[in-house]
C-alpha cells in the first residue's frame, strides 16, 4: 500500500466502524436523532476512502480493478456511495446504512488481509471489456446490497412490538420499502446481465470461448438466476412484503460467494482476481 493510501484507508475504515456502531445504537436505544450525525460521519469516511483510491491510482497508474483488496476497496466505495446517494435523495432512507455499513466494514477488512501490496496490472486485464465488466459488477453488487438493506429495514419495521421504537418512524412506509426492494433488485439484475455479457465477450478474446463453466462463472449464473427467480416470484406470484424482504436478504449470499467465496475454496478458477 502507498503511504497516504494506508492512512486514508484506515481512517476511513475506523470512521465506517464508528458510524456502524452509531446506527446500531440508534436502533437499540431508540434514539433516531443519532442517524443524521452518523450519516455525516459516513460521508467523511467515504471521502477518506476516495482519497485512498486516488492515492493508490497515483502509485499504480490504474484504478483498483484487480485483486481481492482492490475489488473490496472499490466495491465498498460503490455500496457506500449508493447508500449516501439514496439517503441524500430521501432522508428517510438514511437507515439503509444499518445494512450496508457492516457489509462494507467486513469486506474492507477481508480485502486488507489478502494482498494490499502495490502490483502492476496483469496483461490480460488491459482491455476495455474489463472496465465494462467490472463497472457493471460494482453497480449490480451495490444495487443488490441496497435491496438487502431495504429488506432489513422492512423486517425490522414490520416486526410486532409492544413498545414503539421511534427510530423506525424515520423509515419510509412498509409499502414504499417493499417497492424499493423490488426496484433495487430489478436494477441490479439488469446491470448483472450486462456484466455477464461483457464478461463473456472478454472471455472469448482471452480464453477462446464465451463460457467455460469456470467456478466463478457458474456462481455468477446461479446469482443471476436467483435474482431472476426473485423478480419472477414478485411479478407472477405476487410475492411481497416479508417474503420478498427475506429473499432480498438471503439472495445476497450468492453474490458474496460469487465474488469472494469461490476463490477461498477453489484455486483453479480462470478468473484473475489476483494479479499474476
- Look at residue 42 and tell me whether its pLDDT is greater than 70: yes
C-alpha distances in Å from residue 267, one per residue of 230, 250, 264: 30, 26, 7
Asked whether 195 and 133 are in contact (CB, 8 A), the reply is: yes
pLDDT band at 160 (very low <50, low <70, confident <90, very high): confident
Give the predicted TM-score (pTM) of the model. Answer: 0.89
pLDDT: which is higher, 67 or 142:
142
- Look at residue 115 and tell me whether its pLDDT is greater than 90: no
- Look at residue 38 and tell me whether its pLDDT is greater than 90: yes
C-alpha distances in Å from residue 125, one per residue of 53, 64, 131: 18, 11, 9
Q: What is the mean pLDDT of residues 242-271?
A: 79
- Look at residue 18 and tell me whether its pLDDT is greater than 90: yes
Count of beta carbons in the 10 Å neighbourhood of residue 185: 27
Query: How many whole angstroms from its chain centre is CA 131?
Result: 17
Q: pLDDT tens, 75-103? A: 999 999 999 999 998 888 988 998 999 99
Percent of the chain with pLDDT over 70: 92
pLDDT of residue 267: 59
Q: What is the mean pLDDT of residues 246-254?
A: 94
* Mean residue pLDDT across the chain: 87
pLDDT band at 275 (very low <50, low <70, confident <90, very high): very low
Tell me the domain boundaries of the chain.
1-120, 127-271
Kindly tell me the burial class for residue 36, based on how many C-beta atoms sit within 10 Å of its own C-beta (0-12, 13-18, 19 or more): middle
Q: pLDDT tens, 178-229? A: 999 999 999 999 999 999 999 888 888 877 788 878 888 888 899 999 999 9
pLDDT of residue 276: 35
Using CA atoms, how far apart are residues 64 and 42, in angstroms rounded to an integer?
Answer: 21
pLDDT band at 30 (very low <50, low <70, confident <90, very high): confident
pLDDT band at 261 (very low <50, low <70, confident <90, very high): low
pLDDT of residue 121: 67
pLDDT band at 71 (very low <50, low <70, confident <90, very high): confident
pLDDT of residue 273: 43
195 is written with which cell numbers?
A: 456484466
Nearest C-alpha neighbor of 262 from the set 215, 223, 226, 218: 215
Amino acid at each position: 500500500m502507498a503511504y497516504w493510501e494506508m492512512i486514508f484507508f484506515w481512517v476511513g475504515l475506523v470512521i465506517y466502524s464508528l458510524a456502524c456502531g452509531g446506527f446500531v445504537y440508534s436502533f437499540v436505544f431508540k434514539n433516531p436523532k443519532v442517524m443524521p450525525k452518523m450519516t455525516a460521519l459516513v460521508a467523511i469516511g467515504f471521502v477518506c476512502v476516495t482519497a485512498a483510491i486516488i492515492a493508490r491510482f497515483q502509485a499504480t497508474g490504474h484504478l483498483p480493478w484487480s485483486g481481492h483488496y482492490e475489488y473490496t476497496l472499490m466495491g465498498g466505495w460503490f455500496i457506500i456511495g449508493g447508500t449516501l446517494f439514496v439517503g441524500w435523495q430521501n432522508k428517510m432512507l438514511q437507515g439503509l446504512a444499518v445494512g450496508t455499513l457492516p457489509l462494507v466494514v467486513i469486506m474492507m477488512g477481508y480485502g486488507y488481509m489478502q494482498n494490499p501490496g502495490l502490483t502492476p496490472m496483469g496483461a490480460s486485464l488491459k482491455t476495455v471489456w474489463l472496465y465494462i465488466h467490472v463497472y457493471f459488477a460494482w453497480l449490480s453488487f451495490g444495487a443488490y446490497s441496497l435491496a438487502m438493506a431495504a429488506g432489513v429495514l422492512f423486517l425490522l419495521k414490520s416486526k410486532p412490538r409492544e413498545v414503539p421504537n421511534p427510530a423506525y418512524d424515520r423509515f419510509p412506509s412498509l409499502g414504499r420499502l417493499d417497492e424499493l426492494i423490488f426496484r433495487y433488485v430489478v436494477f441490479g439484475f439488469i446491470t448483472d446481465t450486462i456484466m455477464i455479457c461483457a464478461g463473456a465477450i472478454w472471455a472469448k478474446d482471452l480464453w477462446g470461448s464465451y463460457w467455460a463453466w469456470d467456478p466463478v462463472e457458474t456462481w455468477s449464473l446461479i446469482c443471476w438466476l436467483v435474482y431472476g427467480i426473485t423478480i419472477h416470484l414478485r411479478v407472477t406470484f405476487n410475492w411481497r412484503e416479508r417474503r420478498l424482504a427475506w429473499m432480498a436478504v438471503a439472495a445476497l449470499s450468492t453474490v458474496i460467494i460469487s465474488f469472494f467465496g469461490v476463490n477461498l475454496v477453489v484455486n483453479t478458477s480462470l478468473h484473475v482476481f489476483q494479479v499474476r
